A and B are shown apart, each in its own frame.
Chain A
Amino acid sequence: MGQRIDINHLNVYYGDFLAVQDINMKIQANKVTAFIGPSGCGKSTVLRTLDRMHEITPGAHVEGQVLLEGRDLYGPDVDPVEVRRDVGMVFQRANPFPTMSIRENVLAGIRLNKKHIPKSDADDLVEWALRGANLWKEVKDRLDKPGIGLSGGQQQRLCIARAVAVHPQVLLMDEPCSALDPISTLAVEDLINELKQDYTIVIVTHNMQQAARVSDYTAFFNLKAVGQPGHLVEMNDTTTIFSNPQEEDTERYISGRFG
Chain B
Amino acid sequence: MMGRADETWPGSNKDGETPMKDMRSRASLSPVSSAGGSASSTSVSPDSVSPGPVPAGPETPGSESPATAADGGGAGKGADGGPLPVIDFGKFKPTRSSLRARKRKNLIMTALIVLSFLVALIPLVSVLWVSLVNGVERLNLDFLTHNMSGVVGGNPTATGGYGGILHAIIGTLEVTLGAMVISIPIGVMCAVYLVEYSHGGRLARAISLLVDVMSGIPSIVAGLFAFSMFATLVGPGTVNGFSGSVALSLLMIPTVVKTSEDMLAVVPNDLREAAYALGVTQQRTITRIVLRTALPGIVSGTILAIARVIGETAPLLIASGFIATTNPNLFSGRMTTLPVYVYNEYSEGLAVCGPGAASGCLTDIRMQRAWAAALVLILIVLLLNLLGRLISRIFSVQEAK
Contacts and interface: CB of A to CB of B under 8 A. Distances in A.
Contacts of A227: none
Contacts of A108: 275, 278, 280
A109 interface: yes
Nearest to A51: B277
Interface stretch (B53-61, B126-134, B352-360, B393-401): B393-401
Interface string B257-284: 0000000000010111111111111001
Given A53-B273, A95-B273, A98-B293, A148 B278 contact: no
Interface string B273-304: 11111111100110011001100000000000
Given A58-B199, A113-B284, A84 B276 contact: yes
Contacts of A69: none
Contact of A99 (B274, B277, B278, B293): B293
A91 B268 CA distance: 13
Contacts of A99: 289, 292-293, 395, 397
B195 to A, nearest CB: 13
A17 B28 CA distance: 48
Give the size category of A's interface with B.
20 to 34
Contacts of A56: 272-273, 276
Given A91-B274, A163-B277, A145 B401 contact: yes
Contact of A109 (B268, B278, B398, B399): B278
Given A145-B401, A149-B401, A84 B268 contact: no
Interface string B381-401: 000000000000001011111
A96 B289 CA distance: 11
B280 A148 contact: no
A145 to B, nearest CB: 6
Contacts of B400: 149
A109 B280 contact: yes
Interface residues of B, number: 26
A112 B276 contact: no
Contacts of A96: 274
A114 B284 CA distance: 9
Given A98-B397, A112-B285, A81 B279 contact: yes
Nearest to A82: B279
A84 B278 contact: yes
A149 B274 contact: no
Contacts of A53: 273, 276-277
Nearest to B396: A99
A93 B273 CA distance: 11
A163 B277 CA distance: 8
| Most B Cβ at <10 Å: residue of A58, A98, A114, A166 | A98
A85 interface: yes
A84 B293 contact: no
Interface in B166-187: none
A91 B275 CA distance: 12
Contacts of A145: 401
B197 to A, nearest CB: 11
A162 interface: yes
A79 to B, nearest CB: 9
Contacts of B395: 99
Interface string A50-90: 01010010100000000000000000000001111110110
Interface of A: 51, 53, 56, 58, 81-86, 88-89, 91, 93, 95-99, 108-109, 112-114, 142, 145-146, 148-149, 159, 162-163, 166
20 contacts: A53-B277, A56-B273, A83-B279, A84-B277, A84-B279, A89-B273, A91-B273, A91-B277, A95-B268, A97-B274, A108-B280, A109-B278, A112-B278, A112-B289, A114-B284, A142-B401, A146-B398, A148-B399, A149-B401, A163-B277
Given A56-B272, A89-B277, 9 more contacts: A56-B273, A58-B199, A95-B268, A96-B274, A97-B274, A109-B278, A162-B278, A163-B277, A163-B278
